[in-house]
Amino acid sequence: MARTNKRDDLLAAAYRDHQEALLGLARLLTNRSAEAEDLVQTAFSRFAVHVDEVASGAQRAYLRSIVINEWKRLAGSRREDPGYQPVDNELRTPATDPWAVRTDLMVVWNAIDRLPDRRRVVVILRLYEDLSLPEIARLLGCRLGTVKSQLHKGLRSIREEMSVDDG
């Protein structure tokens, strides 16, 4: 009893086109695959309500903004919840994973992951999503100067850790 209509088709196409990229972004933001999947699913749930209204060229940006906002909401709630304790639902050290051992990249990723949330998201949006600084400022709702400074500080921290590791 298959149901097909234009709306379902649009949604399925958007899912096909953007799910993997959004999942990558969500993994970088959360560092947890299950949580990343949930964030992406939430994004598509909300996108589905407006699937007819969002131009195909704007879908990725629309979905990305939902992922970012939902992640910010979650991170904010957790910071404000004194009872919240992060747990390792999964293995967080890919070194234990024999099919994906890249210790060189893991050092860099760990440096990125240790950045404060705000710096980390700026680095991710700039270097993974290839967004311009004004785009990042708009997406995060902050001033351009703030984005520049967060990016500068974030990259400096990462490079410092990389150089320590090299030494």
Partner 1 sequence: MDDDRVIKEALRWRASLPMDPPAAKEPPASHHLRARLAPLAAGLGALTVCGILLALLWPLARGDDQGAAGTSPLTFTVNATWEVPGAPVAVLPDGDSVLVATVGELASTTIYRVRGSTEPEVVMTSQSAVVDMAATPTQIWMSTFKPGGEPELIAVDPATFEPSLVIADLANPIAADAGHVYASALSGGGTRVVSLDAETGRELAHYESPNRVMNLLTNEGLVYLMPLEGTLIRVLDDELKPLGTISPEGDWAASGLGSSTNSFTVLIRRGSDAYLEHFTDLGVQPGWTVPSEGGPIGTTSQAVVTSNGIGDIIALDLLTGDTLATISLSSGVGGGSVFPTAAVEGDSVWVAGHKGEVTQLTLGTSQVRSEVRS
Of 59-67, 86-94, 135-143, which part binds partner 1 (CB under 8 A)?
Answer: 86-94
Angle ∠(66,71,72) on CA atoms, nearest 5: 100
Q: Which long-range contacts (CB under 8 A, 24 or more apart) does 89-95 make?
A: 89/32, 89/34, 89/35, 90/32, 90/33, 90/34, 92/31, 92/32
**Is residue 128 near partner 1 by the rule CB under 8 A?**
yes
Write each residue from 44 to 83 as x if it is in contact with partner 1 (CB under 8 A), else as -, in one continuous string. xx-xxx-x------------------x--xx-xxx--x-x
Tokens of 112: 């990125």
**Is residue 8 near partner 1 by the rule CB under 8 A?**
yes
Residues lying near partner 1 in the complex (CB under 8 A): 1-3, 8, 11-12, 15-16, 19, 23-25, 27-28, 30-35, 37-39, 41-42, 44-45, 47-49, 51, 70, 73-74, 76-78, 81, 83-84, 86-87, 89-92, 94, 96-100, 102, 104-106, 108-109, 112, 123-124, 127-128, 155, 158-159, 162
